[in-house]
Structure 1
Amino acid sequence: MGTKVLVIGLDGATPELVDRWVEEGKLPNLKRIMQNGVYGKLKSVYPPISPAAWTTFATGYNPGKHGVYDFRDYDNKRYSCFADTIVDSHAFAGKTFWDVIGAAGQKVGVITVPCTYPAWPVNGIMVSGYPTPDTGKNYTYPPDLSTAIPPLVGDAAFFKSATGHVLLKEMNRLLHLSFDVSIEQMKKDDYGFFVLVVGATDRAHHDWWKYIDPEHPAYTEEDAKQYGNLIEEVYKCSDECVGKFLDAIDEDTTVIVMSDHGGGSHPKYYFNANYVLRTLNLLQPNTRTNKKQGGLKAAFKKFYRTKIRRFAYLEKVYRSLPASLKKIATNIDSQNMMNLDSIDWKRTKAYRFPMYPPVEGIMINVAGRQPEGCVQPGEEYEAIRTRILDEMRSLRDPETGEPIVIEAYRREELYHGERLEMAPDIILVTQDRYKGGTDVDKLISEVPLDVISKLSGVHRMNGIIIAQGPHMRKNAILENANIIDVAPTVLYALDMPIPTDMDGKPLSGLFEETHLNESAASYSEERTFDNSEDDEYGYTEEEEESVRLKLEALGYL
């Protein structure tokens, strides 16, 4: 049997910030791991959002296999592009690499990995990570663990309403609590594998990036003086907590500190793909003014957008609504995001599919797939995809002359598997200064300052990986690492066979050449699973409403 493995996930931890603060001596424990091991950037998935990224980490599958692309399920048969359902663990429960480790007889501990609600039976313990229906309690396996430890998931209403140093204090409290509880649980049994993921670093970026970036539109010197140290303080607290884990393990334990993506400034500009499609005569605007939606529905939409959606304790208001109004509220944000009323769907062949920046999608309006599809599958479909890809690759910003789109793919070039069909037909990656917009009359438009200020940081494609352990290189740099490679790397470190259906490969750059030569990776047959997609899993209607509001409060919907 090989070494034990400990994974510490710092959601959103960013290479540029880690590099800066390690160099300045502010992250001594991360520096210690770097000097004793290997450090590099870890590329995320498309799009770089936590549900897709952490599920890829957990399974070793690409999103085309595990089917998790966002916090909401994609539904590309709808023009709103999203289903009403929130992602939960049913898509991959029992299919993670810690299930493989547990089935081989080793104990596993899994603490607050995102999107692991509901927790499922494992050979050890699990505490579900964000999002959960009620942050006032834990959702665990075994169930009695729930009341044995304090709640470990932060309250969305508090995180939306609290600001500055009050929020920093709560973030750091949760950091210490999560690490202390995890270390306590780890010491209670002989775990072959243990993982803890914390979200404070990601939350800090979203709220406070405007205080550290002089180029941010919402930056002011006065605010920077008062709040410019907040993100740094979260990183320093995270580093201190990592040190606790280092002190609690033995030298035979492999340690991997990683993030699912990086962070950066909120884009200043919308890139409006629908405008490009309009210029190609693939999208037709709806020139009729829609005046039919009056009465209660129209009044409620206005009230919801202007009043309820801005309320700090939104969830309490939402829960009190009649079922008919809840249903309207559920669809308002998707309709706003897509600007659905502006498009004549019967005469439109392609349209924007919103994804998380810097990733954006394009959907073809296919006959028999979308409600008013008019493009024939096969030759016409492929010709339109080729035309759009060529156009997007040649786009230039009229002000700067720089490319807008830096990567463009057919979906099957990025994804494969039984859930490939959930993805949009075309995937675009833009420069960081852009995010997807809905305008059909402008190529580029400015993002309102209040939007940028409210969610001042967003995600970037590159996270971090820092690792040390037996047989690992010392003080070395790792190149070309991808989050999909972590699962097979953990199994390799444990000297366990890697299922052949994993899409990643062991990160050989972590290990000494002599060890790689002496201990080649071994493989097992593809994993077989019981059908976990049954009534045991998934949110109730009330739980789903609660989670949706929490995600909205934190800026993810």
Structure 2
Amino acid sequence: MTETIVLGLDGANWALLEPWLDEGRLPNIEALRNEGVWTDMHSCFPPVTCPNWRCYSTGKNPGKLGVFWWETIDTDRRTLTTPDSRSFKSANYWDYLDDAGLTAGIMNLPMTYPPFEVDEFMIAGGPDSESDGYAHPPELGDRLDMEGYRLHPAVPVTSKEDRDAADAVVDLIRERLLTFRERLDDTDVDVAHCTVFYVNVLQHFFWRGEPTRRAWEVIDEQIGAIRDSHPDATLLLMSDHGCKDVETVFYANSWLEEQGYLVTEDTSDLLTEYGINKERLSKLAHKLGVHNLVTRLTPDSVTDRLPEDDEGFKREQKLQKVDWEQSRAVASGQGLVYVIDDDPETVDALVADLESLTDDDGNPVARQVMRREEAYDGPFVDDAPEIVFDQRPGVHTSGAIGSNPVFADAGQWEAENVRTGLFLVDGPAVEATEIDGPISITDIAPTVLHSVDCAVPTDVDGDPVPLFGDREVETCDPLPFDAVTDAARGDVQDRLEDLGYLE
């Protein structure tokens, strides 16, 4: 019998769901709230899928993992890389289950590609996963392929106009949870986990719009079916962060350039002056049926001078636009700023400037501005961006480099991540009637281990949530981890760009 089932609901918080709960659209989640215990949950900085799903699986903050966002900017080597599953320098809770002779089934957890050798199974997921070699054992992947299993939508949602693609995402979410239910029926594991990642993509592009509401109705229906099929299990709902509608887009690199912290090479010419970029040229060429001809005949000297889209230059190309000799800082997205040469005076000045920075309406951009030593703890703090700021709810911070204003109205995303997510637990073994919240995302791995009487490693940051009466919490020494890693492939980076995660 599966003792503990964890459903990861990417980007969910109670503030998002409350209107639908009040309208009776999510009866199964409401029933779990009435029968179980629930509270808010705080993610690690920044509140993003990567690294927070691995903060969940390890019980540790990014300073103990060595990964801080979807991309890492090395200001010494002037490179930009994207992490994969082996980039996180820690064992995960399923390793401790295995060490204790217990089993796990992990499905669709972001940042698990390539998959780990989990006893019983792992099916990688999230935008960083590829459609080959995504499952352990490998024959499980072959079986899923034969059944038509899909990691990603056939056509990605890339804008608020992609309604057909959004409908396909809703169908994908249903299929994902049906497959998870089949795995629960076919394989007895002590702990099972499934993440519903693509619901947050709908939230980003549509906020509480009709596609998002339908997706949550599907999720609620499947949660009810899981509860009915496994009434004796501890059922735990959690998220990696929450979300809120976007009020303001903050182009951090435009601000750094305006303030003199960042200097970029001049890329303006007649092409960019008239708004010509690769995205527009590609769409026009496809419309005229000459895309292959244009691609073959256009010189690199021309394409290299064009921004990817309206927001500017992307990925490695954007770093090529930085004048490294004259610049003092460069930003990634969602509140991360790298200071070149780790200059303490620049760090101090930037912290002060960001603390006083307001948008065009006079509202602060950041709720909190931290040096990396304040945001993180652990042996890999020196690998973190020098400055981390918690963007005000309603602010989306873009890391694009290009001819953008410092502030703009909501762009392609309708909603951005916030630090407050959700936590809910129900089941016969749960004796608590309330939780002193909010809890931390780093508390959940210890809680999962404790739920099946497995020892909790002594190097985690979190503590088991007191749910199971007087059950004693046992501890154990940390296990070693596999530190071999490769940067994610180009097609993974392209997918992250399509979704708006990398800019």
State if a TM-score over 0.5 links the two structures.
yes
Structure 1 residue 474 displacement after superposition:
5.9
Q: Cα gap change, 1:261/1:133 in structure 2, threshold over 3 Å: closer, same or farther?
A: closer
| Alignment partner, residue 226 of structure 2 | 245
8 Å contact 1:272–1:442 — kept in the other structure? no
Q: Structure 1's 430 and 440: CA in aligned 2 closer, same or farther, altered over 3 A?
A: same
Contact 2:64–2:89 (8 Å) recurs in 1: no
Tell me which residue corresponds to 2:439: 481
Equivalent positions of 1:186-205 (< 5 A) are 186-205=184-203
- Alpha-carbon contact 1:127-1:138 (below 8 Å) kept: no
Aligned AA (1:499): P
User: Cα offset for 1:470?
Assistant: 3.9
Quick one: which of 357, 382, 391 aligns to 1:430?
Answer: 391
Quickly say closer, same or farther: Cα 1:505–1:393, change in 2 above 3 A.
same
Aligned to 1:49: 48
Q: In structure 2, what is the Cα distance between the partners aligned to 1:474 and 1:87?
A: 38
Partner of 1:110: 106
Structure 1 residue corresponding to 2:325, chosen from 315, 321, 346 = 346
Q: Percent identity?
A: 23
Q: Secondary structure at the match of 2:430?
A: coil
> Does 2:238 match 1:258?
yes
- The 8 Å contact of residues 313 and 401 in structure 2, kept in 1 or not, is answered as no
Instruction: Decide which of 102, 121, 124 is 2:120's aligned counterpart.
Output: 124
Query: Which residue of 1 is the match for residue 496 of structure 2?
Result: 551
> Cα 1:475–1:35, aligned 2, differ >3 Å: closer, same or farther?
farther
**Given the two structures, how large is their TM-score scaled by the length of structure 2?**
0.84
Q: Distance in 2 between matches of 1:168 and 1:325?
A: 35
Q: CA deviation at 1:67?
A: 2.3
Matching residue of 2:92: 96
Change (3 A) 1:437 1:171: closer
The reply on whether 1:525 has 2:486 as its aligned counterpart is: no
Residues 74 and 422 in structure 1, CA contact (< 8 A), matched pair in contact too:
no
Cα distance in 2 between the residues matched to 1:115 and 1:438: 21
Cα 1:272/1:123, change in 2 over 3 Å = closer
Relative to structure 1, the CA distance from residue 74 to residue 417 in structure 2 (aligned partners, 3 Å threshold; closer, same or farther) is: farther
Give 1:426's aligned amino acid.
Answer: I
Task: Give SS of 1:479's match.
Answer: coil
The answer for the alignment partner of 1:151 in structure 2 is: 149
SS class of match (2:142): coil
For structure 2, the residue ranges without an aligned partner over 5 or more in a row are: none
Any conservation in 2 of the 1:90–1:538 contact (CA below 8 Å)? Answer: no
User: For residues 509-553 of structure 1, what are the alpha-carbon distances to aligned partners after superposition, in whole Å with 9 as ceiling and x for unaligned?
Assistant: xx26xx1xx323221112223x4506xx665xxxx1222222222
Tell me the SS of whatever aligns to 2:478. coil
Measure the CA separation in 1 of the matches of 2:340 and 2:477.
Answer: 39
Shift of 1:432: 2.7
Which residue in 1 is equivalent to 2:455?
497
- In the alignment, what sits opposite 1:232? 213
Give matches, 1:293-308, under 5 Å. 304-308=278-282
Cα 1:270–1:249 shift into 2, 3 Å: same
Distance 1:132 1:440 in 2: 23
User: Could you tell me which residue of structure 2 aligns to residue 139 of structure 1?
Assistant: 134
Counterpart CA distance in 2 for 1:250 and 1:93 is 36
If the length of structure 1 is used for normalisation, what is the TM-score? 0.76
Instruction: Give the Cα–Cα distance (whole angstroms) in 1 for the partners of residues 29 and 285 of structure 2.
Output: 39
Contact in 2 for aligned 1:93/1:120 (Cα 8 Å): no
**Separation in 2, partners of 1:312, 1:234:** 32
Distance 2:266 2:387 in 1: 30
Q: Secondary structure at the match of 2:480?
A: coil
Equivalent pair of 1:337/1:438 in contact (CA under 8 Å): no
Q: Distance in 1 between matches of 2:138 and 2:250?
A: 46
Cα distance, 1:37 vs. partner? 1.2
Cα contact 1:115–1:130 (8 A) shared by 2: yes
Structure 2 CA distance for aligned equivalents of residues 237 and 440 of structure 1:
38
| Separation of aligned partners in 1, 2:261 and 2:182 | 58
Structure 1 residues 94 and 53, CA gap change in structure 2 (3 angstroms)? closer
Query: For residues 68-88 of structure 1, what are the alpha-carbon distances to aligned partners after superposition, in whole Å with 9 as ceiling and x for unaligned?
Result: 222333424355xx52x4321
The secondary structure found in structure 1 opposite 2:7 is: strand
Pairing 1:270–2:250 present? yes
Residue 376 of structure 2 is aligned with which of 394, 401, 415? 415
Deviation track 1:457-504 (CA, whole Å, cap 9, x = no partner) reads: 221211111111244356635512111111111111121111111122
Q: Distance in 2 between matches of 1:201 and 1:312?
A: 30
Distance, in Å, in 2 between the alignment partners of 1:202 and 1:399 is 28
Does the CA contact (< 8 Å) of 1:140 and 1:146 recur in 2?
yes
| C-alpha distance in 2 between matches for 1:312 and 1:155 | 21
Q: Is residue 9–residue 238 contact of structure 2 (8 Å, CA) maintained in 1?
A: yes
Contact 1:274 1:351 in 2 (8 A): no
Structure 1 distance, partners of 2:283, 2:75, is: 26
Structure 1 runs not aligned, ≥5 long:
213-227, 367-376
Distance of aligned partners of 1:23 and 1:138 in 2 relative to their CA distance in 1, 3 Å threshold? farther
CA 203–442 in structure 1, closer or farther in 2 if over 3 Å, else same: closer
Q: 1:190 to 1:524 in 2, by over 3 A?
A: same
2:174 to 176, 182, 186: 176
